Amino acid sequence: MTRALYLIACAAGPTEHIDTAVRKAQAAGWDTCLVLTPSAARWWADRLGDLEALTGHPVRSEYRMPWERDALPKADAMLVAPLSCSSLNKWGAGISDTLALGLVSEGVHLGVPVAAMPYFNQAQGAQPAVARSIAALREQRVRVLYGPDGYQPHPPKQGNPAAFPWATALAALSDDQGSPHAKETSPNGVPADGR
Ligand SMILES: Cc1cc2nc3c(=O)[nH]c(=O)nc-3n(C[C@H](O)[C@H](O)[C@H](O)COP(=O)(O)O)c2cc1C
């Protein structure tokens, strides 16, 4: 059975190329569901239909209403990429005021493999909150791909969102039970509304 990946993207540069990431995840064998932060959804507002056609699922960006049904299959793994500086710090502080953060902050404690690759510049990364947030997430077993083995913040105004290393981020999932090729051991999905 095809395993479901929640690809979760924040309003950071590489999200302009999130369709590329979806195709790469699909090529790696994932049934790829896309979740955007509300800010990221604004970037794609005119083309959300294209993303839904590509993934074959609704693109979610808001918490559902209490009476609405879950729109996505249960997640076998979650990848937050790109993770913005703002969402990183909110997540590290336990704030889940977006569906994107609600899914991952709870998902990791329900046994779902969660990886995250940030994308922000060195000035943003110099904030003391960033190191604290990364430590807090790693303590919770979130695989934070930041530093030599992941994303290294770029000098301000010198980012290259088109060169974001999607393949490295996806490969991190293959290292663990989240791989679509891994043997299924337990139904580790979570409700698609982060509850
Ligand atoms: C054009 C544009 C590009 C941005 N690029 C980044 C970025 O690459 N990394 C980042 O951390 N924030 C970036 N920001 C700032 C975030 O979009 C902003 O902090 C936002 O509140 C993040 O919300 P979210 O994490 O819920 O998506 C950018 C903002 C704009 C307007």
For the CA of 88, the closest atom of ligand 1 is: 25
Question: What does the pLDDT look like over 9-29, one tens digit per residue?
Answer: 999 999 999 999 999 999 999
Strand partners, 151: 146
| Burial (Cβ within 10 Å: 0-12, 13-18, ≥19) of residue 56 | exposed
Mutual angle of helices 18-27 and 48-55, in 10-degree steps: 0
Closest atom, ligand 1, to C-alpha of 14: 8
171-180, pLDDT tens digit by residue? 999 766 455 5
Per-residue confidence (pLDDT) for residue 75, from 0 to 100: 98
Digit-coded pLDDT (tens) for 152-171 = 999 999 999 999 999 999 99
- The pLDDT tens digits for 103-138 are 999 999 999 999 999 999 999 999 999 999 999 999
Cα dihedral sign, 59-195-92-89: positive
Closest CA to 193 of 126, 124, 90, 104: 104
pLDDT tier, 43 (very low <50, low <70, confident <90, very high otherwise): very high
Instruction: Give residue ranges with CB within 6 A of ligand 1.
Output: 10-13, 37, 39-40, 84-87, 98, 119-120, 124
CA of 49 to the centre of ligand 1 (A): 22
From the CA of 40, give the closest atom in ligand 1.
27
- Degrees, nearest 5: CA angle 111-113-116: 135
Per-residue model confidence (pLDDT) at position 74:
97
User: Separation of 54 CA from ligand 1 center, angstroms?
Assistant: 24
What's the confidence (pLDDT) of residue 112?
A: 97
pLDDT of residue 149: 85
Quote the pTM value: 0.92
Distance CA 67, CA 49 (A): 24
* Smallest CA separation from ligand 1 atom 21, residue: 86
Query: In b/e form, how buried is each residue of 128-142, taking b as 16+ CB within 10 angstroms?
Result: eebeebbebbeeeeb
The CATH number that domain 4-174 falls under is 3.40.50.1950
> Ligand 1 atom closest to Cα of 36?
27
Ligand 1 centroid distance, CA of 136 (Å): 21
